[in-house]
Amino acid sequence: MGIALIWSIALILIKWITSKRRGAISYDSSDQTALYIRMLGDVRVRSRAGFETERRGSHPYIDFRILHSHSEIEISLSARNIRRLLSFQRYLRSSRFFRGVNAQNSLYILDDGYNGQAKCMLEKVGNWNFDIFLFDRLTNGNSLVSLTFHLLSHNGLIDHFQLDMVKLRRFLVMVQEDYHSQNPYHNAVHAADVTQAMYCYLKEPKLAKSFTPWDVLLGLIAAATHDLDHPGVNQSFLIKTNHYLATLYKNTSVLENHHWRSAVGLLRESGLFAHMSAEDRQRMESQLGFIILATDISRQNEYLSQFRTHLDRGELCLENSAHRHFILQMALKCADICNPCRTWELSKQWSEKVTEEFFYQGDVERKCNLDLSPLCDRLTSNIANIQIGFITYLVEPLFVEWARFSNTRLSQTMLGHVGLNKASWKGMLQERSSSEEADPAFDDTD
């Protein structure tokens, strides 16, 4: 009882500390000549004695400046910035302290402390109506850890691969913390949602009967880590601002490569697979990359036409591991963009979050005199338009093929929701334009 309380307090403290520390991107608008953009997310010095991390090969902290004039690089570390840096290091140190303690004992917090209601929800974790937002509240913001742990354990993967529970907890806690909780959309709840969707797809008869425990483990870990350390802006923003990740990954699948390499870093740091052969570890890491890299939305057409070709020729054979892994790629792609396939109540919340994140990027671009990315301008885009385009050009084409592959009740349910949700957004758009017509303020004939 006493110890559970202490750990609950420790967990709250950790959340508070990390929330102070993790700015996706913050900029100091008080300086007119140089906008100071800093990514605090990509930071961690977490080792306790003896286990040094080279995770992401990143520097203790990263900052980059965007100059209005392209002439000279002006480094203006205001007193405020220095203060911020110092306090940041203080948080870092204390969080490192808690982290070690937390990881060893998180079994207590997450098992005893957590609400019976959350446990109850997990009984229906394979249900397409699963409300991840509610689950996240019931687990006190630990949806990704709780859900993934449950799925691995419930499906016998912990036993099968003889995973060490403490290492697994530590790995999952690190994964969850490496998502930026300040991102409106690309945060740990999105990762938990994608993991839940992935699980629903893995349960589909075609997959369930041919997938090995290895494939299931791979699929769930890929889902949980697929957006790890996402900065809340997209690749074109990183390229425009000369971010080091764009250089590192030569402008191609910059974010996806980073998510994958971050996941590999955490796997190594946690030692989760340390008991496996070097060959298996290597195989896990590269297959993880193979699947996560498929979530690059700018390459959707390539994947989709491959999928169509396979389906047209009826040549997918799930006895073949290459084909199973291709299906894992497609399943993760579906899980990643399945928001419009959920009920309106859930789907609408996701739409609001993603729009907020896009508009935030647009605001930064406007502030920095960069070209505004399409969809990111709150003055010209709106949530309904964005959703209609997203559904028409990305979601429907993908899920139509998925339903050809796996023609089940779930696939029909998902397509049903997509249709209804698209109609709702269209209805809202019409209402909006007719009310604008009726509103004298918009009447320019006066």
Active site residues: 186
Q: Enter the tokens of residue 190.
A: 């999105």
* Residue 373 found at the interface with ligand NAG (CB under 6 A): yes
Nearer to Zn ion, 42 or 227 (CB): 227
Q: Cα–Cα distance between 376 and 208 in angstroms, integer?
A: 40
The least CB distance from residue 332 to Zn ion, in Å, is: 9
| Max CA distance (Å), the chain | 77
Q: Annotated binding residue at 226? A: yes
Within positions 79 to 118, which residues make up the interface with ligand NAG, using CB under 6 A?
Answer: none
Question: 311 contacts which partner out of Zn ion, ligand NAG, none, CB within 5 to 8 A by kind?
Answer: none
Alpha-carbon 425 to chain mean position: 24
Residues whose CB falls within 8 Å of the CB of residue 21, separated by 6 or more in sequence, listed in order:
40, 43, 88, 91, 92, 95
* 3-class SS shares of the chain: helix, strand, coil, % to 5: 65, 5, 30
8: left (phi over 0), alpha (psi -120 to 50) or beta: alpha
The least CB distance from residue 266 to ligand NAG, in Å, is: 26
346: left (phi over 0), alpha (psi -120 to 50) or beta: alpha
The least CB distance from residue 197 to ligand NAG, in Å, is: 20
Nearer to Zn ion, 103 or 255 (CB): 255
Question: 227 contacts which partner out of Zn ion, ligand NAG, none, CB within 5 to 8 A by kind?
Answer: Zn ion
Do 403 and 411 touch, CB atoms closer than 8 A? yes
* Residue 227 found at the interface with Zn ion (CB under 5 A): yes
Q: Annotated binding residue at 387? A: yes
Residues whose CB falls within 8 Å of the CB of residue 217, separated by 6 or more in sequence, listed in order:
152, 157, 161
Determine the interface stretch with ligand NAG among 60-68, 146-154, 254-262, 371-379 (rule: CB under 6 A).
371-379
* Residue 388 found at the interface with ligand NAG (CB under 6 A): no
Report which DSSP code applies to 61. Answer: -
Question: 19 contacts which partner out of ligand NAG, Zn ion, none, CB within 5 to 8 A by kind?
Answer: none
The least CB distance from residue 272 to Zn ion, in Å, is: 22
Nearer to ligand NAG, 47 or 373 (CB): 373
Residues in contact with ligand NAG, counted by CB under 6 A, come to a total of 10
- Give bridge partners of residue 88 from the DSSP assignment: none
The least CB distance from residue 386 to ligand NAG, in Å, is: 8
Residues in contact with Zn ion, counted by CB under 5 A, come to a total of 2
Where are the alpha helices (H) located in 139-204, listed in sequence order? 143-154, 157-160, 165-178, 188-202
Q: Cα–Cα distance between 393 and 381 in angstroms, integer?
A: 17
Select from 115, 251, 306, 430 the one that contacts ligand NAG (CB under 6 A).
251
* Residue 357 found at the interface with Zn ion (CB under 5 A): no
203 phi and psi, to 5 degrees? -80, -10
Select from 218, 376, 388, 395 the one that contacts ligand NAG (CB under 6 A).
376
The least CB distance from residue 376 to ligand NAG, in Å, is: 5
Closest CA to 228 of 283, 187, 170: 187
Closest CA to 172 of 231, 110, 91, 101: 110
Q: Annotated binding residue at 310? A: no
Q: Cα–Cα distance between 104 and 67 in angstroms, integer?
A: 45
Residues whose CB falls within 8 Å of the CB of residue 57, separated by 6 or more in sequence, listed in order:
none
The least CB distance from residue 65 to Zn ion, in Å, is: 29
Nearer to ligand NAG, 194 or 375 (CB): 375
Nearer to ligand NAG, 182 or 373 (CB): 373
C-alpha distances in Å from residue 203, one per residue of 151, 220, 408: 12, 12, 11
Q: Annotated binding residue at 287? A: no
Within positions 332 to 351, which residues make up the interface with Zn ion, using CB under 5 A?
Answer: 336
Select from 375, 383, 384, 414 the one that contacts ligand NAG (CB under 6 A).
375
- The dihedral built from the CA positions of residue 418, 419, 425 and 429, taken in this order, carries a sign that is positive
Residues whose CB falls within 8 Å of the CB of residue 387, separated by 6 or more in sequence, listed in order:
340, 351, 421, 422, 425
Question: 373 contacts which partner out of Zn ion, ligand NAG, none, CB within 5 to 8 A by kind?
Answer: ligand NAG
Within positions 325 to 364, which residues make up the interface with ligand NAG, using CB under 6 A?
Answer: 358
Report which DSSP code applies to 226. Answer: T
Q: Annotated binding residue at 336? A: yes
Nearer to ligand NAG, 188 or 376 (CB): 376
**Contact letters (x/-) for ligand NAG, 229-248, by CB under 6 A?**
-----x-x--x---------
Within positions 252 to 311, which residues make up the interface with ligand NAG, using CB under 6 A?
Answer: none
Binding site for Zn(2+), residues?
190, 226-227, 336
Chain residues that interact with ligand NAG, rule: CB under 6 A: 234, 236, 239, 250-251, 358, 373-376
Chain residues that interact with Zn ion, rule: CB under 5 A: 227, 336
Binding site for AMP, residues?
186-190, 227, 336, 387
Binding site, residues?
186-190, 226-227, 336, 387
